[in-house]
Structure 1
Amino acid sequence: MDKEIHLKEHFSPIGEKLLEIYRILYHKFGPQHWWPGEGPFEIAVGAILTQNTAWRNVEKAIANLKKANLLTPKALYDLPYPYLVELIRPAGFFNVKAKRLKSFLCFLFDEYNGDLTKMFAEETENLRQKLLKVTGIGPETADSILLYAGNKPTFVVDTYTKRVLCRHHLIFEEADYEEIRSFFMKHLPLDIQLFNEYHALFVCLGKNYCRPKPLCEKCVLKGI
């Protein structure tokens, strides 16, 4: 469903600009169906494994875990570290990512007895701050887990997002992650589906038009 039909209330000029960009991208690219994954735990694992690698490599690692019947919190928590390393090897940086997964699992069991439902029942900002203290989970990963696995209203910022906003003079080049996230949270309704689609659409735009060497003349946002 096109989200614009739910966004008829008045917004600030910046908010209206952001919504205009969203509508153009949505009508050009359509719904992106993010995040791929069967259930919250698989999505959370994918968010950690996708750091610094292509999604197709993450899919191979997740397929390994599924084939071994290990894609559950308890199974991965109990799995010896060397076996985890081998199973997620296709995702790259496998030693680092195995440690990050183990850190997340320790957090999940220490704080919530391994229960994702209990974890996501916590207030969004409180949980976000806890996730950011887990070794290897930075803002983008934390927000991806919250938004895509937990269905919580937080905006995920990545390189594509910042690039598009800078080129359209909506933020300064010096803006950091938290400033850009706050920019969206302040000027848009706290709508989970909107945040989900918007982030995915920025990725699509960045890959197709707003590249390091941009295709401005062909870009769907040309002239706005």
Structure 2
Amino acid sequence: MVGAVLTQNTAWTNVELALERLRDNCALDAEAILAIPAERLAEALRPVGYFNVKARRLSAFCEHYIAAGGFEGLSALETDVLRHSLLGVNGVGPETADDMLLYAFERPVFVVDAYTRRIFSRLGLLDGGEGYEEIRAAFEMALAPDVPLYNEYHALVVRHGKDVCKTRPGCAECVLRACCPAA
């Protein structure tokens, strides 16, 4: 869940650096993160960019996490209630909340990210004007509510978006080029 907060607007490699710096401070659980002085926490998060903002957001999430009874308390909530609870935390938006729901709480909630939007817009399946919730609902209607399926599907979308369907697409190497109007 820490990674979900830190990965906003940055590459995962930067998050890994910040997580290593937190480990060096013995701080990967909520109580330990909150025990770190704000300046030191921000410095540990420097690799992710916007480190002062992310330090405040991570602290807000950790406070919420503890107040809600930790993983056990949050896990006991129904998915919709849990999502609403996460969205109530400063700095946790729909993508971050859904990332936590799918990967940490193993709930069948599809994560929509920039890769999803890019790939499916190029395929002509999105027109670009759809909101996050509309896209998420469409995926959840099209796919069975299956956590391993959503995990794998999202991982494949991310991989394809990073490796092939980049900002400048590599259409020549794309397995979808035959059915992609943008190819």
Secondary structure of 2:109's counterpart equals: coil
Residue in 1 that maps onto 2:106: 151
Residue in 1 that maps onto 2:90: 135
Secondary structure of 1:223's counterpart equals: helix
Per the TM alignment, residue 160 of structure 1 is displaced from its structure 2 partner at its CA by: 1.0
1:108 correspondence with 2:65: yes
Distance in 2 separating the partners of 1:131 and 1:92: 22
1:50 correspondence with 2:50: no
- In the TM superposition, 1:164-203 aligns within 5 A as 164-203=119-158
Residue in 1 that maps onto 2:163: 208
Q: 2:53 aligns with which of 96, 102, 107?
A: 96
Given that residues 30 and 63 in structure 2 are in contact (C-alpha distance below 8 angstroms), is that contact kept between their aligned partners in structure 1? no
TM-score by length of 2: 0.92
Per the TM alignment, residue 140 of structure 1 is displaced from its structure 2 partner at its CA by: 0.8
Structure 1, residues 189-221: CA drift from partner, whole Å, max 9, x if none? 011011111111111111222122322233111
Per the TM alignment, residue 79 of structure 1 is displaced from its structure 2 partner at its CA by: 2.4
1:75 correspondence with 2:29: no
Query: What percent identity do the matched residue pairs reach?
Result: 47
Per the TM alignment, residue 171 of structure 1 is displaced from its structure 2 partner at its CA by: 2.2
Secondary structure of 2:177's counterpart equals: coil
Given residue 31 of structure 2, which amino acid in structure 1 is its aligned partner?
Answer: K
TM-score by length of 1: 0.76
Distance in 1 separating the partners of 2:53 and 2:103: 23
Secondary structure of 1:196's counterpart equals: helix
User: Aligned pairs, how many?
Assistant: 179
Per the TM alignment, residue 74 of structure 1 is displaced from its structure 2 partner at its CA by: 1.3
Per the TM alignment, residue 182 of structure 1 is displaced from its structure 2 partner at its CA by: 0.4
Secondary structure of 1:143's counterpart equals: helix
